[in-house]
Amino acid sequence: MAKKKAEKVINLDNILFNCRDILRAARNSGSFFEKRDMMLTLVFLRFIGEKYEEGIEKLRQKLTAEGLDPDDENIRAAFFEDPTLTGGTYNLPPDARWSKIINTPAPGLNVALDTALHSIATSSKQLKGCFVEGTFMTRALAANDIKKLVDEINKISHKAFGEEKDLIGRVYEYFLKEFAVNATKEEGEYYTPHDVVQLIATMIEPYDGTLYDPCCGSGGMFIQSADLVKSKQGNIDRISVYGQEKDAATYRLAKMNLALRGISHNLGETYDSSFTNDQHKGLHFNYIMANPPFNLKGWYDDNLKTDARWADYVTPPDSNANYAWILHMLSHLRPENGVAGFLLANGALNDSDTVEIRRRLIQNDKVEAIVVLPRELFITTDISVTLWILNQNKKGGKYHGRTLRNRENEILFMDLRTWTENPVKNENKKKVRLTTEQIEKAAEIYHKWQSEGTNGKKYEVPELYRSVGIAEIEEKGWALTPSKYIEFVDHDLDIDYKKEMARIQAEMKDIVKQEKKSQQMLEEAFKGIGYGID
């Protein structure tokens, strides 16, 4: 009897791997960015199409439960022709529905896909601008190639992969990793891992009000924060999302990502630099979460020399935008109680050309916490990264059900570089992730330090965290490097040297004894065949 062939497990990585190979082999598939955008547009059409079908079915069930006939012409006109259906599902034109696309013969697929994009752009103000019309006819993949690609994308079911925290971001990350191994953060091709976003969100708790990201990339910060809000509060409508993105393709990607999740958003009128064309000028936000391009060059122009954002500080150096990002975000925080959590390269902790800005930030009591993260958290870089938390109100009071103490003139330093025991599977290079337990532990350290009843002068654990007064930071030249303040134990001092030497001597005796025994055995063996050993 023939053995039953084992079924191959379908997972997202397998599907994306197949898509990658199809695009690499196909003629006219374009650059990395064009391949990526084609893939993301297909995933967008697949997901929004499936969500439409799911929304229609839910609406039919709801109407039936209420004693209404969903097939009645008047009922259909009243309920099924709205721009949005239940659960934020978009009412797609017939040409834009995945059921129409997947049943289109291969020779007509490129036209069908571009027709779908045009139908969406002309019928939905919210979805317009999420993609480039004409994408598929411009590339004009061979019928066999585009058919294989669409069939692979058809396997990415919302029901099967709905647990992905940020599916569009996940696809973006995969293609970044596979097609552009040498991409750098400065080039803008970077994705913040879910666990890092979860860490920032768990610490600053953006549960209600306004949330801003001045360099929002694919929108992953918003998506993952929304997931956390839903898990804690159950209602993402309590958060209003604002963002900006400089790169045109990534701007469209963010709009696509947020539209798929039904998250209301304002990403400005167009893509542009937050420095030279601030799309949200004059607005202040409750929370800011960001992962700006590290050590960005070319950000400055002469019009920024007397910009109001650094009027109370010093103009940031034109060679590096790290402190320009800090001051830009600070200018957008609500003066009464705004909180920001963002990532920067470790060099920003002690740069000599930014010491004056850093001194004023510390003396103005804007810096609340500095957290050094493990090196291997990021897929596309090994650069060492720090989480900064700024807070406009360190005087204490009520915050998300907690009573906070006065933390003026204190900064909490944390060093998580040793938290590297959780490897990421299927990665060529060593990569790690922060577990939910570790994230909660880090947040607990921070929240306990904030809370009433904690003595900041005695709040420390060697090699992990320490609360430090501004006077001590001044003594260290306004450096914010955690290792300058957290005690690191010299474990060699704990060694009992007499006992250790006795152990080593005993081991050496055993080795010598074993060597003598081996020598004797060799001599006996060679004697038997007429050879001697000197």
SS3 track for 304-339: HCCCHHHCCCCCCCCCCCHHHHHHHHHHHECCCCCE
- For the chain of 534 residues, list the mean pLDDT of each consecutive stretch of 10: 47 84 87 81 86 81 84 76 58 89 95 93 80 88 94 81 60 61 41 86 92 90 80 74 90 82 85 95 96 90 93 93 97 97 94 95 98 84 87 94 95 94 70 92 97 95 96 96 88 52 60 59 51 36
Q: Name residue 243's beta-bridge partners.
A: 213
CA distances from 4 to 7, 9, 284, 353 (A): 9, 15, 63, 68
Distance CA 449, CA 435 (A): 21
Helix (H/G/I), strand (E/B), else coil: 116: helix
Position 509 scores a pLDDT of 64
Distance CA 132, CA 135 (A): 6
- The upper half-sphere exposure of residue 503, i.e. CA atoms within 13 Å in the direction of its Cβ, equals 6
Given this structure, which CATH class describes domain 185-484?
alpha beta
Single-letter code of the amino acid located at 134: G
DSSP E strands in 424-483: the ranges are 460-461, 465-469
- Asked if residues 412 and 419 have their Cβ atoms less than 8 Å apart, the reply is no
Say which CATH topology domain 12-163 has: Ferritin (1.20.1260)
Helix (H/G/I), strand (E/B), else coil: 432: strand
Q: Could you count the other beta carbons within 10 Å of the beta carbon of residue 357?
A: 22
Position 211 scores a pLDDT of 95
- Asked if residues 178 and 24 have their Cβ atoms less than 8 Å apart, the reply is no
Ordered DSSP codes for 217-260: TTSHHHHHHHHHHHHHTS-GGGEEEEE--SSHHHHHHHHHHHHH
Q: Domain residue spans in the chain?
A: 12-163, 185-484, 497-527
Helix (H/G/I), strand (E/B), else coil: 156: coil
Q: Name residue 241's beta-bridge partners.
A: 211, 265
Sign of CA dihedral 214, 217, 218, 222: negative
**pTM for this structure?**
0.78
Q: Could you count the other beta carbons within 10 Å of the beta carbon of residue 292?
A: 25
